A and B are shown apart, each in its own frame.
Chain A
Amino acid sequence: MSKRFSSLCVMFAFLGLFLFLGASCAKKQVQVTEPPKAAPEVKPEQAPAPKAEGEDAAAKEARLRAEKEQQLEKQRKAFESENIYFDFDKYEIKPEAKTVLQKKAEWLLANTRYSVRIEGHCDERGTNEYNLALGERRANAAKEFLTALGVPGARISIISYGEERPAVQGANEEAWAKNRRDEFKLIY
């Protein structure tokens, strides 16, 4: 819980910083664009001033949105590119996978409009049907871990691909180890 709170604080701190930076940039731009427009004789209280201010706010907002979106895109990529891995014929979450899942849980709790699809995979050894069931267990194990950390179960779906979608080709332990995995796909 305290971890969750501190991560929220960090998120807000970042947000504050963006707002500040965004605002200062916008002001500079206004100084450059204002003078020529200000020349014609118009009543001070009328249209131009609010319009300028409106543009100002819109630009600011757009920039902020773009920056935030850029930041989010990075976070999404990081989230989706980090798999967790399993031992042969096992679906227990290993200690290093727990760290990964904790990070994912924090992010999901901070970004509530995202759902996640967990895809369970196996290495090519064994038979499809057993591996389909094993892949589902691997996906379910990650789901249970995330829900235990407070991510609502309704935001998590699972699918098993068994041995049908290997991450890497190869008939050796190195390849097999990379294929015994859960992948995490964001849905939004």
Chain B
Amino acid sequence: MRGSLLSLISVLATLFIFYPMEASARIFIDINSPFSRKFAVAIPEFRNTSPQGSSQDLGEKLSRVISNDLDLSGYFSLMDKGAFLEGNREGEALNFKNWSVIGAELLIKASYSSVGQSLEVDLKLYDVYWGRQILGKRVLGETHRHRELMHRLSNDIIRLLTGYDGITMTRLAFVGDATGNKEIYLSDYDGHNAAQLTSDKSIVLSPRWSPDGKRIIYNSYRDNKGPKLYMRDLSTGAVRTVSGRSGLNIGATWSPDGTRVALTLSEKGDSDIFLIDLNGNIVQKLTDHWAIDVSPSFSPDGSRMAFVSNRAGGTPQIYVMNISDGAVERITFESKYCTSPSWSSRNRIAFAAVSQGLLDIYTIAPDGSRMRRVTSGTGNNEDPCWSPDGRYIVFSSNRNGRYHLYLTNEGGDHQRLLTNLPGNQTAPSWAP
């Protein structure tokens, strides 16, 4: 009650202060250009305006969230605080020369005040070259939810500079084995605030958020009779069986409208991909082949589906099927082992393929053209999943020993560790 009231207040209290300016006059990041460069951003220490100077250590936390957000976006390079000529103390005048001379293009000055559980943050973004403020925002929220508050500010900055929402407000589901059993965990997009969702004490696999973000389907061996498909309502915590047929009920993916699920069933002995409704009734048999057919992923309009099959020569490859007429086309030929297709909202397909004995992430157009390598030379890189905006890929990698989740842009030149949690983290699914 109190939380929702505060959230409401914080939304209402959000003050937008956009300054009118000509497009040519401000920094604009063209994120659709393959040749975008990174902008140097300086973030001096947040000024603490809390009564009696309390919550002194909070400023560092707040600034770390926003710095990490801007870094993860791939559009900015964060400047070393040691190079700053000017701070952010009370009464300290802002001299743009002090920032332009060290190479800063953007400057973020922020102050905060924390009283009890209430937190107020005031943030100003400056274009150093033009010497003017381009964003001013004051937000109010709860201290223990400060990360969320900062993610919102980061998103405002990214939206102002790129014209698009960023990924800072999104969430992830993934499989973690810290308890000794594989269970599903949820976290913020940056890997923080991770919390265990399932407690099946069995094997839980392949979480997938529903298109409305309210439910998650996943596989579990909880009844000890093989992988069944379950659905969990995230608001009530209610779990029900969606498909509990004998054999496999695996690798489920939502249709874009959220009314159907495609998955691999093997009740009749052969593993084929079926379309079922949310009560588990078969709507359509999508593949009909003696080979292994798994891991469906729909195109954004739902008219096509990428999947994995070993129908040619017995090695797994990526295929694309036209749902209406069942026409199937193989799109990968470069590797003897291609799996885990993920179809982005911008119509690129990410997948994992073996080269020189290790799995790496690639992307490809749905017609099999313009293949691009995303990772290389760093252990196994698997389970790619696109961000809802189709600009980032989250994947799991054992490049540092155990499997953790990493974030990358499609070019692969900006890879960052997200989860540094105990055990292994795999099979990420990005919330809408």
A residues near B, CB below 8 A?
89-90, 125-130, 132-134, 136-137, 140, 158-161, 164-165
Q: Which of B395-432 contact A (CB under 8 A)?
A: 426-427
Contact at B247–A136, with CB atoms within 8 Å?
yes
**Nearest CB to that of A117 among chain B residues?**
B225
Tell me the smallest distance from the CB of B417 to a CB of chain A, in Å: 20
CA distance A164 to B337 in the complex (A): 19
CA distance A128 to B182 in the complex (A): 12
**Nearest CB to that of B224 among chain A residues?**
A159
Contact at B226–A160, with CB atoms within 8 Å?
yes
Contact A136/B340 with A89-B315, A159-B226 known, Cβ cut-off 8 Å: no
List 30 A-B residue pairs with CB atoms under 8 Å apart, sorted by A's residue number: A89-B316, A126-B316, A126-B337, A127-B295, A127-B339, A127-B340, A127-B352, A128-B205, A128-B206, A129-B308, A130-B339, A132-B251, A133-B264, A133-B271, A133-B292, A133-B294, A134-B292, A136-B247, A137-B271, A137-B292, A140-B269, A158-B247, A159-B225, A159-B226, A160-B226, A160-B227, A160-B248, A161-B203, A164-B205, A165-B203
User: What residues of B have a CB within 8 angstroms of the CB of A125 in the complex?
Assistant: 354, 359
Number of A-B pairs, beta carbon distance below 8 Å: 72
User: What residues of A have a CB within 8 angstroms of the CB of B188 in the complex?
Assistant: none
Contact at B314–A130, with CB atoms within 8 Å?
no
**Nearest CB to that of B308 among chain A residues?**
A130
CA distance A188 to B139 in the complex (A): 66
User: What residues of B have a CB within 8 angstroms of the CB of A137 in the complex?
Assistant: 271, 292
Partner among A130, A140, A159 whose Cβ is within 8 Å of the Cβ of B316 = A130
Tell me the smallest distance from the CB of A52 to a CB of chain B, in Å: 50
CA distance A127 to B396 in the complex (A): 11
Partner among B227, B310, B315, B382 whose Cβ is within 8 Å of the Cβ of A127 = B382
Q: Which of B239-297 contact A (CB under 8 A)?
A: 247-248, 250-251, 264, 266, 269, 271, 292-295
CA distance A158 to B226 in the complex (A): 9
Contact at B294–A130, with CB atoms within 8 Å?
yes
**Is B383 on the interface with A (CB-CB < 8 A)?**
yes
Tell me the smallest distance from the CB of A139 to a CB of chain B, in Å: 10
CA distance A164 to B427 in the complex (A): 13
User: What residues of B have a CB within 8 angstroms of the CB of A158 in the complex?
Assistant: 247
15 additional A-B pairs beyond A127-B382, A130-B310, beta carbons within 8 Å, are A89-B316, A126-B354, A127-B383, A128-B426, A130-B295, A130-B339, A132-B250, A133-B250, A133-B293, A134-B292, A136-B247, A137-B271, A159-B225, A160-B248, A164-B182
The list of the 10 closest CB pairs from A to B, nearest first, reads A129-B251, A127-B339, A133-B292, A133-B271, A129-B294, A129-B295, A159-B226, A164-B203, A127-B340, A130-B339
User: What residues of B have a CB within 8 angstroms of the CB of A159 in the complex?
Assistant: 225-226
**Nearest CB to that of B225 among chain A residues?**
A159
User: What residues of B have a CB within 8 angstroms of the CB of A130 in the complex?
Assistant: 292, 294-295, 308, 310, 316, 339
User: What residues of A have a CB within 8 angstroms of the CB of B225 in the complex?
Assistant: 159
**Nearest CB to that of B175 among chain A residues?**
A128
Q: Which of B300-354 contact A (CB under 8 A)?
A: 308, 310, 314-316, 337, 339-340, 352, 354
CA distance A137 to B294 in the complex (A): 13
**Nearest CB to that of A144 among chain B residues?**
B269
